[in-house]
Amino acid sequence: MDIVGLIVGAILTLLIFSFLLGDNALYRWALALIVGAAVGYAAAMAVRFVAQGWVARASVNDQGTTTSLTTMAPLLLGCLLLFKGFTSSRLLGRLSIVGNIPLGYLVGAGAAVSVTGALMGTIFPLALTTGNGVRIERGLLGLLQGVVILLTTIVTLLAFSTHARKRAEADVRQKASDRAGWRRALRQAGEAFVAVALGTAFAGAISSALTALVMRLWQLAALLDSVMNLTRR
């Protein structure tokens, strides 16, 4: 199985790398294979999740039934969601709007989770961490670093909050003040800080991609080495 997996992986790798020579059919076929496998895998896992969850809920239900409200309601809503796939059908197309109900359910739940998570998991911790960074106990260098982080955080936040404001409603006075020196300096400083942050992210993305490239070439080399060893024998 390992060797089979290696061979299949190597073939797929070469087909994908053929894109460097130009877009071709082999690359597209390999892509179709990968996409199909991923989609099928995900759908199967989703079905297993629903089925196993239904069984598990039934098992913990006091009545031992599988038709309690907490069990059936999500299934019914999920079935309503399936009507969203019939938008092109004449007969069932009109029923597609009933799929908006489970969508509303999903959106509402997701919004609430996001709100609480952003509040409690991002805004408060990051604000606290930024403030705690400015401490003398961290030494001069640490203090300086903390001040730099604090200033850059504030400047970046202010720069993009002013930039994101709706310009359509800005009056003449506001536009004049926007062109004021300090606002412009603030915006430019914010852009510079974001450029630094994104530069590091760009380098990180290249690093990850290079890691994947190295690993893929490593596998190819390892396979080739194995084949050569086999042929030598």
Partner 1 sequence: MFRWFLPTLFAVIVGLLVLLGSLLPIPTLASLRADLLSGAAVIASFAMVLAFANVLRVHFGRLVAKQAKSVHATGQRFASLILLLSAIASFVLVLLQGPEGIASQTIVEGVLIPGQSALLALTAVTLVLTGARILRTRWRASSVLFLVVALLVLWTTVGIGTPSGIGMPSGIGTPALVYPGILETVMRFVNAVATGGMRGLLLGVALGTVITGLRIIVGIDRPHSGG
Partner 2 sequence: MIRCPSCGTFNHDSQRACRSCGSALPQTRRRCPECGALNPVGNLFCDRCNTRLLDAEDINQRPASDSTDDDHLSVKGISLPTRPSTPVSIAGTEIGAGQQTALPDWLAGLVDEDTEFELTEPALTGQDEVDLGQAREESASLPHWLGGGDASMPAPLPDAADVAPLPSWLAGEAKDAEASGAAAGDAEPLPDWLTDVLGPGATADEEIPAAQEAGVSLDEDALSGRLSEKPSSEALVFAESELPNWLAQAQALTSDGPGRGDVPTDRVPVEVMHTVPDHTAGEEPGESSAAVEEEALVLPDWLQEIVAEGAGVAEGAGSEQLPDWLVELSRSVDTEAQGAPPAVSASEVFLPTEDGSAPAPTPAPRAQPSPRARSSEVFEEEAAFTDAGELPVAAVPGWLSDLAPMAPGVGTPVFVGQPLTEGHAPQNVGTDALPALHEGPEQVPEWLRDMDLQASQSGPAPEPVPELGDLARAEVPAWLQELAPPGTQGDVAVEPAVVSADMLAPADIPEWVEALRPEARAEGAPPPARAIPPTPAEPEGPLEGLVGVLPAVTAVDRPVSARSTAVIGIPGTIVAQAQLWQRLLEQPRSAERSVWYGRPSDRKGSGVFRWLVSVLLVAGLFLAFWLIPDGVQLARVSPTQVAPGAQALVEGIDRLEPGDTIIMAIEYSPAYAEEMSRIAAPILAHLRSRQVGVSVVSSLPEGAGLGYALSSSVYATGGPQDAVGMTSTHTTGGDGYLAGSASGIAEYLAREEAVSADRLVVLGSEPQRLIWWLEQNALLGADALPVSIATSAGAGPLVLPYLESSWVEGWVAGLPQALAYGQIRGDGSDGDFVRVLDLLVLAHWVVAALLLVALLYTLVYACTHHRRKGAG
Instruction: Give me the residues that bind partner 2 (CB under 8 A), please.
Output: 17, 20, 38, 41-42, 45-46, 48-49, 51-53, 56-57, 106, 109-110, 113-114, 116-118, 120-122, 124-126, 128-129, 132, 167-168, 170, 174-175, 178-179, 197, 200-201, 203-218, 220-221
The one of partner 1, partner 2, none whose footprint includes residue 194, by CB under 5 to 8 A per kind, is: partner 1
Q: Closest separation between CB of residue 2 and partner 2, Å?
A: 11
Indicate the residue among 89 and 129 with the shorter CB distance to partner 2.
Answer: 129
CB-CB neighbours of 190 under 10 Å: 21
Among positions 55, 79, 92, 180, the unique one binding partner 1 when judged by CB under 8 A: 79
| C-alpha dihedral, 207 to 211 to 213 to 214, nearest 10° | 130
> CB count, 10 Å around CB of 83?
20
What is the DSSP-derived secondary structure letter of residue 158? H
Binding mask 149-188 for partner 1 (x = CB under 8 A): xxxxxxxxx-xxx---------------------------
Q: How far apart are CA 80 and CA 99, in angstroms?
A: 5
The answer to whether residues 122 and 113 touch, using CB atoms and an 8 Å cutoff, is: no
Interacting span for partner 1 (CB under 8 A) from 59-67, 146-154, 165-173, 175-183 = 146-154
Quote the tokens at residue 214. Answer: 């190295």
| Tokens 């992210």 sit on residue | 201
Size of the site for partner 1 (CB under 8 A): 116
CB count, 10 Å around CB of 62? 6
